[in-house]
Amino acid sequence: MSSELPALNTRDVIRAFCGAGYVQLAGRGKGSHVALAAPDGSHILIIPSHGDVKRGTLRALIRQAGMTVEQFRDLV
């Protein structure tokens, strides 16, 4: 399996992380970013909400979530 990341828009990234158990935080989604809380509450991911998410940014978000690229690709 390739470790290449697909080009994804914000909505697809949020949908994938929500599939992994992340929850969008109410009141933290105004402006140009969306906040997602980890299933265990240990950390928050901040996702830019302006067009496509750059691959480097997406790779950093995946790393912050403690996932591999392959695990993330399975969620997309």
Q: What percent of the chain has pLDDT over 70?
A: 92
More confident residue, 31 or 35: 35
The model carries a pTM of 0.86
Sheet holding 44-48, edge to edge: 23-24, 33-37, 44-48
- Residue range 14-36: mean pLDDT, rounded: 87
pLDDT band with cut points at 50, 70 and 90 for residue 1: very low
DSSP output for 24-58 = EPTTS--TTEEEEE-TTSS-EEEEE-SSEEPHHHH
Q: Which of 13-17, 33-37, 42-46, 47-51 shows the lowest mean pLDDT across its residues?
A: 47-51
Q: 23 - beta bridge partners? A: 37
CATH code of the region 8-75: 3.30.920.30
